[in-house]
Structure formats: structure tokens, C-alpha cells
Amino acid sequence: MKQPDSVKDMGKKPGEPLAQINQLEQIPLPPPFDNLEDEPEFAQLSDEAREKYVVLDDTIAVNIKKPETKEEEDALVNGFLSGLEKLFSVEDNWTFLQPFEMSMEHCAKCQSCSDSCPIYEESGQNELYRPIYRSEILRRIYFKYIKKASPALHGDIDLNWETVARLIELSYRCNLCRRCAQTCPIGADNGLLSREIRKIASMEMGIVPREIHDDGSVLQLQVGSSTGMTPMIVKDNIEFIDEDTAERTGVPIETPFDVQGADILLIHNAGEIMAWPENPGAFATLFEAAGLSWTLSSDVLGYDGINYGVWYDDVQFARVAVRHAQVAKKLGVKKIVLGECGHAHKALTVIADKVLTGDLNIPRESAMVTMRDIVRSGVLKLDKSRNDFPVTLHDPCNMVRLMGIVSPQREIIDAVVPEGRFREMAPHGVENYCCGGGSGFAIMSGHNFQDWRHRMTGRRKFRQILDSFQDESMDPKHYKYVCAPCSNCKGQIRDIINYYDAFEKAGIYYGGLVELIVNAMEDVQPGFIDWEWH
Amino acid sequence: MMTTLAYVVAYLGIVFFLIACIARFMMWSKMPMHVRWELYPVAHEGGGKAEYGGSYLEDSEWWSKKREVSLVGELKVMVPEILFLVALREHNKKLWTRSFPFHFGLYLVGGATALMLFAGLIVGYGPDSIGNPVAELMGWVLPVLGGAGLVLGILGAVGLVLRRMARELSDYTAPADLFNLVFFIVAFGVALVTFVGFDRDFSMVGSFVTNLVTFNLAPIGDGTAGLMLVLSVVLLAVLVAYIPTTHMSHFIGKYFAYHSIRWQDDPNLPGGKQEKIIQELLSRPVTWSAPHIGADGKKSWLDVTLEDQDK
């Protein structure tokens, strides 16, 4: 395993990777995937990519072109310093000023956070991925080059374009799960510092991974969804989903659109509509069966609850959040219910809490709560035996550790899964591990980034999933269900199951929470969960 | 003359410490409202939710209900955390075995100092019928508290210096970090030598503190004993003044890290007092330079947020 000797290496060894993982040195997974040699081979970066872009480690997320002139080099350094200074300004960074300064000033560099980071751990404790490695570089740059303090006070570092470019790249080696922050005795937050580095890159320098900016928030603001779906297409798709769902359930449904004055505006992550149509279909089946007054919106942005700004850019974040609120205001709904999407939950409920005012301050509720209330109300006839298979639950970081929504999903599972079939992952709840797709990784796949994500960020979650089913037969015909009530987490879990062929080899399947409810509804034909790999 | 110097430095040290702490506290408390960035478990969540990390967001129509906020819940986390450094013990046992004695030593020395100040006021201003027994009691209590505090503080600081030299910490350790610890070792070490060698009943330092609070700058101690007292006082006073100017002021920052960030979950309810503050913040100018922001230094957050809708 190659790793940096020091934080000072960041600007040294130009063109060389600072860290490389030997897959045969990684900690083996639990059975039946416990032979490292049987694991898929890690795809290498192409020589062309190494030539063209700044190199940090085994992969590339941001695609920062190597500067060709001194002016371009200076622009990187000066842009970074200018952005860093703005992070300390009330005007430019009131949004995070206090948490940011707290983490910059008070980290004791005690390393209490290191073991909590699944990336650091699964890398074999590679120094580059230590949670404070990037924070320490940021801190030293700030104190030495902006505050002009003596390196004797805060440590030394050389600043050149390579330091800056690698640091930006390194900010995309963190899932922003904030597990590290949870362990900090003082309250410093290395996850936040990763995000603040991303902000400098995006908001000051215009450097962002294409998938989350151009193909993400920009596309969403332009056409309504990062999936590219326009209002017309989304209505067509939902109509098709209604028909398909009705065929599967035997219960006719018609998803309501743009119902003025409905109680609930339900906003899905539009990825569900494209990749997991059974999820919006199940929501429609459930809400109709419960007799709720609800609607979807076909207004631009009204049908896609994603807000990628939470990962990298406060202005893009605010733009999307305001548009979501405007859609709800236009419909005159009583509340917005967020579908199974963790970051959409946090974005609109918690972060936007300090952005939306006046008539845009419309109450927001988690679908976990809405569904729990339906189940609690007794309006549904539920047959638990329809879910008679092993089930484990993934806790999406945004919904659980960062919002405290822990018990509703468990109460639902208790009501729809037979006793003894549900098992918690270890650890779970607010101490969960990220799925590995957090902070945009689930949708990032340039070069060999997807492979890197499977080997590094998603590995701990896959380990947990396997561990949770160790008391079950790993026969592929003995189906096991990973319930992931979050679209991005589901995408990541799908990808990692696919990477290891875990459905074919061990019968491990995945899906959302609402599907488990509908699968247990007596009024619905059996077999809503069809155990077909997709 | 030497003792007068000690009195002056002690006054200056205390005054500087208080001013610096107040300035730090004001700095953190005057920072603008930030977006919510809480981290669960939030200790004040009521209804048993704090136990498993739940929040009021689990409740139906939470915005229309009275929140259950438990001060007892906060205290149940804060008190053990402050006294025993629970988070460090849980996540970094190796460092805790050094850091806990260090911090607990500081608490004991701080406690002994506070008792001396309290006793000094009683002895200096109260009747002898109360002052004398208090002085006698202090003669028993202070050596135990102060002596144990100094020993624990020194052992902890030495342990921390050694720990900071370990591979995984040394690269993240600046010379100033080591200086801070060495400063503690020296100041506490001199105080310990004074205590063991010249002032085992704390009578000399007790008298010094009594004089300090009664503004009686009378000389105390002769020869080496007096010199050691002066040296101890000067070093400790400078140390006390120095602490809040460094990241060791985390005892202030930590309060805000928990109460203003980690546990700050106050919702912005429609028509509530937060809305005005948010509107003011959204009217601040933005100077971020990336083209997609569209800032020019005059446009506000609200302007750039709504701007894309005009296109």
C-alpha cells in the first residue's frame, strides 16, 4: 500500500499518486465473499487520464486539468486562497461560518475520529484518507498563507497548484457522513471541512464534478430534474407506472397530479421514477388505500426532490430549495412529504429551515413518518407472512444521524415483517455506516471512480450487510432483503450487490421501505416484491 | 519587591484571562445564525428520544406541537463529558489515559484555587470565629486537592507529550502544541516543588491568595521559599493568561460546538422570530466569483438565489 508520509507531501511528488491500494491487502469480506483473490479486479486509471488530470490516488473524481502555464497555476492557487478567505466572511458564508470556524480552530488533532471513518478503515488505514488529513492541510494553508502566522504555531505546508488541486480532489474522497464529527470530543467536524473545500472549488473557482453540477443541479434547474425528465415526460412515466403497478397489485390507481389545495405534496427523488418505478407505484397504492389527500406536481422541479447543492454549493442549494417551496406554495398544500430520499429530506427539512421564510415556509415531513402514521392508524389490513424472508435495514445518514428520524421506519418494519425475520446491522441507527454513495458518489462514475467507490466507500456497508445475514443460508435461492429507504443509498447498494454478483451468488436483494408495506397489504395481490434483479 | 511583582502579575493574569475568555465567548455568541447542522443524538430531545438518537422530526405534524426539550437530558451528557471526557474515553482510550489525568488535574488545581479565593474572602473579611476554622479546614483540604491536581496535571501532560510523538500524531503536532504542554509541566512542576519543599500545608500560598483578594500586598515567605512562591505564582499567572489566546480555549468553544451547532435544532417556524434574522442574512451581498453564482458584490443572497428563475 502506498501512502503519504506527511501532510506536507500534498504539494510534492508532482504527477505521482500519493496513495494506492493493493486490493489483496484489504480486509477480507465475510463469507461467501471472503477470498480476496476472487474479488473483481480493480480497474486502473488510463495513462491518458493520468497525463491530463491532476493525480491524487487510484482514481479521479473532479477532472482538474493540469495547468499548462504559470498563469494557470497561479489562478488555481489564488482562486483557492480567495475562496478560503471568503469562508471566513459573514457575507459570503453566514450559512456555515460558526461551524466552520469551530472546526478550523479547535481540532486537537487527537485522531479520535480516524477509526470512525469507513473509508480510512477499509483502505487499510491509509494516511491519505484519515479524516483530519485534508482538514490539516486546509488549516495550515489558512494560518500560513492568509493569517500569515508562524508555521511553529499551526504547522507548515508548501502551497502550489498541485496542493490545491489534490486537496480539491481529496474533498471528493469523503462521503460527508459526519460519523467522524460524532466521535469528536470537542465538536470539530471534518465532514464539514470537506464540504467547505468543495464550496471553495465550486463557488469561487467553478470546479465541480460534472455529475453533480452540470448534469445535476444545473440540469435540474433548467429542465426540472437531473434525470432530464421534463414535466411532460414525468407525467407519461407516472401514467405508465400506475398501469404497471395496478397490474401487479390488482388495485387500480391513478396518481393525482397538480391537485390544488391537497393536504400533501409528495416529492420523490426522480431517480425512483426512472430506476425503481415500483417505489412511486407503491407510494401511490399506499396513499390511495389510506385515503390521503395528496398530489404530485408536474411543475418544473416539483417532481424531483433531489438537491445536490447540499454536497458542494450553498447558492445552488438555495436555488433548488426555494423552487421546491414555490411549487408547494403554488399548489397551496398543507405540507410537503419527502419520499424515500435521504439527502432530499435533509436539504428541504433541516438545511432549508434557515432559508425559507414567509409563505415559502411550508411544513415538511418525512415519508417515514407519514407511512408510520398510516400503518399505526389501522386503515390497512396487513399480512406479515407475505414478508417472510430475512430483512435488514440500512439507515441513510442524512435521515438518521443528521435528522434523528430513527424509529418510524423500525415501527413500520415491526408491523409488516414477521417476528424473528428482521435483524439490525451493527452498528445501526445514528451510528450507522454510510452506504458508500453519500455526498454524490452514488451518481459519480467517471474513469474508474465506480470501482474505487466499491473497493473503498461501499465496502464497509457491504460488509455490514453480509454480517447481518451470516445466520442465514447464503444459497442464492434463499432471498434476503436489504431495505434502504433512500434513493441514492439504494443506487449504491444496487451497484455493490451487482459488483460482487451478490444476488446471483447469495440471494441478496434490495429495495425500499414502502415496497415492504405494499407487499404485506392484504388488499393487494401477493408478490409485489418480485425478486427479479434489476 | 519580589512579592509585589507576584501580586501584580497575578492580578494581570487573572484580569487578562477573564477579558480574553469574555472576548472569546462574545466572538462565538455574536456569530450569525447558520444553517442547521445538528448531529444526533441530540441530548435535549425529550420523550426518551435522546436515548436512541431520535428527534421531534419523528412526530406527526411536529410543527404544530410543543417540543419537549430536556435540560436534564443535556446535563446527563454534559456533566460526565466535562468531568470525565466520556467521548474521548469511548473513541480514543489510549489518549484518554493521558488526557483525563491532565484535565482532572487542572480541575483539581482550579478547584483548589477557587477554594483559596473563597477562603481568602472569609478569612480576610469575615469574623475570626468563622475565618479561623475555615483556615484550619483549608490547611487539610488544599494540600490534598492542590497536590493531587499538580501531580495528575504533570503526569497527564508528560503522557500527552509522549503520545504526541507517536507516529500517527506527530505529523499533526505543531511546535506550539508541544510548547503548551511543556509550559504546563514547567509551571505545575515549579508549583509542586514549592508545595513539597516549602509549603506543605498551603499556608504560604493561602496567605498570598487571602492578600490578593483583600488587596493587601504584604510580603510573604523568606529566602528560597519566598522566591519559589513568587516563581510559581508568576508562571501560573502567565499560563492562565496564555490559555485563552490559544486553541486551549476549547473549553469555551466546546460549549458553542454543542449548544449552537451539534444540538442546535430550533426550527424556524412560520411567523417566528428566526424569519426576520434569516431575511436579513439573505439580504447580505455575495462576492463568490464562479460564473454560475452570478454575484457582483452588490447582489444579495436572495438576488442570486432567485436570479436563475429570470432566465
Q: Tens of pLDDT along chain B (311 residues)?
A: 778 899 999 999 999 999 999 999 999 999 999 999 999 999 999 999 999 999 999 999 999 999 999 999 999 999 999 999 999 999 999 999 999 999 999 999 999 999 998 888 888 888 888 888 888 888 889 999 999 999 999 999 999 999 999 988 999 999 999 999 999 999 999 999 999 999 998 889 988 988 998 899 988 888 999 999 999 999 999 999 999 999 899 999 999 999 999 999 999 999 899 999 999 999 999 999 999 999 999 999 999 999 877 55
Q: What's the whole-number mean pLDDT along residues A355-384?
A: 97
Task: Report angle CA A219, A394, A278 to the nearest 5 degrees.
Answer: 55
Contact in structure between A516 and A417 (CB atoms under 8 Å): yes
- How far is the C-alpha of A119 from the C-alpha of A506, rounded, in Å? 25
Residue of B nearest to A373 (CA): B60
pTM: predicted TM-score of the whole model, two decimal places = 0.96
**Torsion A359-A361-A367-A371 (CA) sign:** negative
Three-class secondary structure of residue A212 per DSSP: coil
User: Which amino acid, one-letter code, is at A42?
Assistant: F
pLDDT the model gives residue B202: 86
The beta-carbon neighbor of B174 closest among A82, A132, A155 is: A155
Q: Nearest C-alpha of chain A: how many angstroms from B12?
A: 24
Contacts A7 to B, Cβ<8 Å: 171-172
Indicate which of B259, B279, B305, B306 best probes the interface with A, i.e. most A CBs within 10 Å of its own CB: B305
Give A508's strand partners.
A480
Provide the terminal-to-terminal Cα distance of chain A, rounded to the nearest Å. 35
Q: Nearest C-alpha of chain B: how many angstroms from A185?
A: 5
The beta-carbon neighbor of A373 closest among B53, B60, B171 is: B60
- For residue A427, whether the previous peptide bond is cis, meaning omega lies within 30 degrees of 0, is yes
Q: Nearest C-alpha of chain A: how many angstroms from B229?
A: 31
The per-residue pLDDT for range A497-516, each reduced to its tens digit, is: 999 999 999 999 999 999 99
Helix (H) / strand (E) element for A362: namely: none
Could you give the C-alpha distances from A263 to A193, A331, A363, B162, in angstroms and in order?
39, 10, 11, 63
Contact in structure between A339 and A268 (CB atoms under 8 Å): yes
**Torsion A405-A410-A411-A416 (CA) sign:** positive
Three-class secondary structure of residue A364 per DSSP: strand
The per-residue pLDDT for range A93-122, each reduced to its tens digit, is: 999 999 999 999 999 999 999 999 999 999
The beta-carbon neighbor of B278 closest among A205, A354, A403 is: A354
Confidence of residue A455 (pLDDT cuts 50, 70, 90): very high
| DSSP structure string for B90-134 | HH-HHHHHHHHHHHHHHHHHHHHHHHHHHHHHHHHHS-HHHHHHH
The beta-carbon neighbor of B92 closest among A95, A110, A221 is: A110
Nearest CA-CA partner of A406 in A372, A436, A430, A383: A430
Interchain pair A112, B309: CB under 8 A:
no
Residue recorded with cell 415491526: A414
Three-class secondary structure of residue A391 per DSSP: strand
Task: Tell me the three cell numbers of residue A461.
Answer: 456497508
Length reported for chain B? 311
Residue of A nearest to B53 (CA): A404
Residue of B nearest to A87 (CA): B288
- Strand pairing category for A391-393 and A480-483: parallel
Q: Nearest C-alpha of chain A: how many angstroms from B190?
A: 25
Contact in structure between A296 and A326 (CB atoms under 8 Å): no
The beta-carbon neighbor of A110 closest among B95, B171, B290 is: B95
Helix (H) / strand (E) element for A422: namely: strand A422-423
- How far is the C-alpha of A172 from the C-alpha of A177, rounded, in Å? 12
CB count, 10 Å around CB of A382?
17
Contacts B301 to A, Cβ<8 Å: 315, 318
The per-residue pLDDT for range A61-72, each reduced to its tens digit, is: 999 999 999 999
| DSSP structure string for A473-503 | ---TTS-EEEE--SHHHHHHHHHHHHHTTHH
CB count, 10 Å around CB of A250?
10
Of all residues in chain A, what percent carry a pLDDT higher than 90? 98
pLDDT the model gives residue B311: 56
Contacts A349 to B, Cβ<8 Å: 57
Confidence of residue A145 (pLDDT cuts 50, 70, 90): very high
Interchain pair B293, A151: CB under 8 A:
no
Nearest CA-CA partner of A181 in A134, A114, A127: A114
Confidence of residue A228 (pLDDT cuts 50, 70, 90): very high
Q: Nearest C-alpha of chain B: how many angstroms from A408?
A: 7
Interface A-B, measured as beta-carbon pairs within 8 A, has a size of 251
- The b-or-e profile of A86-108 (16+ CB within 10 A means b, else e) is bbeeebbbbbbbbbbbbbbbbbb
Contacts B54 to A, Cβ<8 Å: 404-407
Nearest CA-CA partner of B254 in A107, A116, A430, A110: A107
Pinpoint the alpha helices (H) of A209-366.
219-223, 231-249, 270-275, 278-289, 309-312, 314-331, 342-345
The beta-carbon neighbor of A357 closest among B31, B279, B289 is: B279
Position with higher pLDDT, A15 vs A257:
A257
- How far is the C-alpha of B86 from the C-alpha of B95, rounded, in Å? 12
Interchain pair B34, A202: CB under 8 A:
no
Indicate which of B35, B38, B42, B298 best probes the interface with A, i.e. most A CBs within 10 Å of its own CB: B35
Give B69's strand partners.
B45
| DSSP structure string for B171-194 | TT--HHHHHHHHHHHHHHHHHHHH
Indicate which of A106, A137, A214 best probes the interface with B, i.e. most B CBs within 10 Å of its own CB: A106
Nearest 5°: phi and psi at A391? Answer: -130, 135
pLDDT the model gives residue A534: 61
The per-residue pLDDT for range B165-205, each reduced to its tens digit, is: 998 899 999 999 999 999 999 999 999 999 999 999 888 99
Length reported for chain A? 534
Interchain pair A203, B290: CB under 8 A:
yes
Contact in structure between A250 and A524 (CB atoms under 8 Å): yes
The beta-carbon neighbor of A206 closest among B36, B53, B292 is: B292
